[in-house]
Structure 1
């Protein structure tokens, strides 16, 4: 064997377009893997962070861009906002999900009918869907405006009833009981004509408000349309004359979105992709946090061979760490993984908050505080009980990092006693628990929300490595990930890069202009 034969080829470099890019969780992971990323993000605060981090960005609504604007993008990634699918009560989340699945099926039908429909006809299907969503959004705005007026009138009626009760000489406790009864005004009785009239008007407003809420749930919101965008971009690149399909597609969101990704996968298989949907436990990939993410992966099949049963599937991303089990110490955590999610190495336990913060503190002592053994008390209740706050000790992974992370209390371990100092995680520390580099330059407003909504970079490392470098051996994968994780932890921002806006195409590597 010659020396040339023994040399391992360097990993391919891809040009990635990241929709709904947020503050740059996927982008920083792609950067340390050597790929080039451009993000589209509408939020000004997230764009401020991206600018400070040197992330190439177009600021604006994804719906105002098109796949054809970026003909040199090779990979499409993104995490469209899908919170409507997790809305509790009255089945709103289920209805929003069913609506999106129906729209996807309409697009799929147009793609399947390719032999009978031209690109113009496929595009016409999309235009009809877009117009339906636009009209629903306009109607929803009108309903929201009316709902606001009704709520304002209700508040005035409440105030008038309180004032009349005070004028009649009712005690504060009596007034409190009466006002509490306004949750169900039909049960309240009064001999006072003025209060009786106000009660009737209040009840009528409640009825109007209930109908308006039902109407809003029926209409959904703009996020219903946003979740369709990545699929349409993939269809456009695959079917539009003169376009080349994306080499790969990676999408991630909350667990509730998995049915959408599974439906997406059916369409992508029709477009010539091998796909995989996977529910990923973040702590099983070395992230110091328990969080479940629904991930869709697709890679263009260039073999030219027909797909048989199972041949249209990509392999799972292998887990590298144990899954977290409550009340089990790291060295005794049971082995995790199923037949299709076997870990690369089952010897590594999950990473605790303490371990992650200590590593970050060694890299940047000024950004991470030194604390004694601690317990984190969540801002959220557990089991539907607001008062039953979730608790995690320092030697366990964090609970899911949300936009309310700055409200979590850090107390002395096993107590409710706040630490005398550093009783809250600051931005750098919260970012580390989301697996961002400790030096990540969080900027703009509402940084906790940016952190909570971000793609965990270390999870993105594993997914991108798997989809964009599938031919690597297990040993090569371990080596690649080891170096990439080290580079991620020690990453530092370069020169800030000002964001662009739609129309500013000149000189951009993805536009060719």
Structure 2
């Protein structure tokens, strides 16, 4: 029997299934709200962290599971990997996005065309047939891409051998090692080089030919895309399966989030969900506007099953101010000089007075508040500091981004452990190991509890990829508890935030595989 206690259906106790669950950002937020979550995650490092945090987990590829395996899940959440959409320059990201939108369009067409079919089973078979065609097309692309990647590695190895042979030949003919090195740098444009040596000329031509082969392989790989194109379709298919397969019950709510470039995908998702009877909303969310001590934007899709209602879901109200350098309460001036209503007097989408936003949370405040809740890895005191990013700004690699201690952090990425922490306004590293954030501190800047038990490989990447729990907390409460009064919302958030900060792991729970489906509370087996 699974370690998750069986819950009877009730409006107050949703059971959540989290696809691409990561180390548990949404899960820990759901737990402090009182919900049970089961995650599916393939990364071994993230699963190791989830195990120590006591998170219920099926370890493996989402594509090896089906919505039908978890009939008692009432809410579907997730953040499928979509990094290909943000590739700049040569158009690969644009093509990947176009492919995804085209596949969603095919699914939407068959869902819409079969909506009023008199025979539900026949309609389902037609929908499933379309998905199988898409799945098979993506599988063929993956197989071809794997073969091309193997060929590409072989070509790159041959190029390296040709380069090494040319360097050896140059040095044998009397060219110094430094001159040979400089000449070989020009091999990016090999046609500009000419050698009297016949052997060198032959090697140069072969090297140039391999360059041409390599370029063609790269172009073909970009055309094929990668497996993430299929992964981003998985949540939509799970939603369709639960909505249209005879005998299944539709999810009561959906929450999906990713980088801003994925908003186009969520908008197309929303069109399909509208056909399936959901009220939906998409929203760009600034994390610092929800109490996260970090500036980061996320694209969020929210949906509730409410057949017959066509109006969109309301937006999630921001609880904190946006951060702008040099201003704590930013806002564009009116062209005619007129001012806007004070935020504390404005109304929300429900016509009730809007709560005045608090000031954004700084790194210093977040780290200080977390010190008394540290676990095995302490959150440490620091003098005034500046964080120097591992990344450049304005397209200049050497111009590192900088944020002072009394501001929110820049976006936490998988390279957070490489950021330098220096004395404020200087380039002098802080002493005694304070010149880098440890895992607990980096997690706190994502609003994980200070005692969160990070484990496994590449913890920095786990932290950088995670959903900030405090953002997840606001979205979950908004979607799953829409009928609370304004006063109840404030109390609910305040209590949950206190629990989140003070959260500590209670037990270790090993990840499950397919054998764990039997007897699990979500499976009904």
TM-score normalised by L of structure 1: 0.94
Query: What's the offset of the Cα at 1:167?
Result: 1.6
Q: Distance in 2 between matches of 1:410 and 1:205?
A: 44
Query: What's the offset of the Cα at 1:95?
Result: 0.1
* 1:203-224 deviation digits (Å, cap 9, x = unpaired): 1001000000000000000000
Q: Distance in 1 between matches of 2:42 and 2:294?
A: 27
In the alignment, does 2:358 pair up with 1:348? yes
Corresponding residue of 2:325 = 326
Which of 281, 285, 288 aligns to 1:283? It is 288
Query: What's the offset of the Cα at 1:339?
Result: 9.2
Corresponding residue of 2:314 = 315
Corresponding residue of 2:371 = 361
Q: Distance in 2 between matches of 1:158 and 1:344?
A: 66
Query: What's the offset of the Cα at 1:370?
Result: 1.1
* Equivalent residue runs for 1:207-356 within 5 Å: 207-302=212-307, 305=308, 307=310, 311=311, 313-328=312-327, 330=328, 333-334=330-331, 344-356=354-366
Q: Distance in 2 between matches of 1:361 and 1:141?
A: 47
Q: Distance in 2 between matches of 1:433 and 1:272?
A: 38
Corresponding residue of 1:206 = 211
Kindly report structure 1 stretches of 4+ aligned residues shifted beyond 4 Å.
332-344
In the alignment, does 2:416 pair up with 1:417? no
Q: Contact 2:239 / 2:251 at 8 angstroms: preserved in 1?
A: yes
Which of 118, 121, 126 aligns to 1:121? It is 126
Corresponding residue of 1:400 = 411
Q: Distance in 1 between matches of 2:111 and 2:292?
A: 39
Deviates more, 1:160-169 or 1:388-397: 160-169
Which of 160, 164, 169 aligns to 1:159? It is 164
Query: What's the offset of the Cα at 1:156?
Result: 0.7
Q: Contact 1:333 / 1:349 at 8 angstroms: preserved in 2?
A: no
Query: What's the offset of the Cα at 1:89?
Result: 2.4
* 1:120-147 deviation digits (Å, cap 9, x = unpaired): 0100000000000000000000000000
Q: Contact 1:376 / 1:411 at 8 angstroms: preserved in 2?
A: yes
In the alignment, does 2:480 pair up with 1:478? no
Corresponding residue of 1:188 = 193
Query: What's the offset of the Cα at 1:333?
Result: 4.8
* 1:455-504 deviation digits (Å, cap 9, x = unpaired): 11000000000000011122211111111111101001111111110132
Q: Distance in 2 between matches of 1:179 and 1:471?
A: 69
Listed as ranges, the gaps of 5+ residues in structure 2 are 1-9, 333-341
**Cα RMSD (Å):** 1.9
Q: Contact 1:84 / 1:93 at 8 angstroms: preserved in 2?
A: yes
Structure 1 SS opposite 2:400: strand
Q: Distance in 2 between matches of 1:382 and 1:341?
A: 37
In the alignment, does 2:455 pair up with 1:443? yes
Query: What's the offset of the Cα at 1:341?
Result: 8.7
Q: Distance in 2 between matches of 1:157 and 1:88?
A: 31
Query: What's the offset of the Cα at 1:340?
Result: 7.9
Query: What's the offset of the Cα at 1:411?
Result: 0.6
Q: Contact 2:419 / 2:436 at 8 angstroms: preserved in 1?
A: yes
Corresponding residue of 1:507 = 519
Query: What's the offset of the Cα at 1:344?
Result: 4.4
Q: Distance in 2 between matches of 1:264 and 1:344?
A: 30
Q: Contact 1:322 / 1:334 at 8 angstroms: preserved in 2?
A: no
Query: What's the offset of the Cα at 1:441?
Result: 0.3
Structure 1 SS opposite 2:397: strand
Q: Contact 2:63 / 2:234 at 8 angstroms: preserved in 1?
A: yes
Structure 2 SS opposite 1:159: helix
* 1:161-199 deviation digits (Å, cap 9, x = unpaired): 111121222234422331211111122222222221111
Structure 1 SS opposite 2:483: coil
Q: Contact 2:279 / 2:309 at 8 angstroms: preserved in 1?
A: no
Q: Distance in 2 between matches of 1:214 and 1:445?
A: 32
Which of 149, 152, 155 aligns to 2:154? It is 149
Corresponding residue of 1:391 = 402
Corresponding residue of 1:430 = 442
Query: What's the offset of the Cα at 1:327?
Result: 2.8
Closer/same/farther in 2, CA of residues 158 and 246 from structure 1, 3 Å limit: same
TM-score normalised by L of structure 2: 0.92
Corresponding residue of 2:106 = 106
Structure 2 SS opposite 1:500: coil
Aligned length: 496
Q: Contact 2:288 / 2:295 at 8 angstroms: preserved in 1?
A: yes
Corresponding residue of 2:336 = none
Closer/same/farther in 2, CA of residues 318 and 341 from structure 1, 3 Å limit: farther
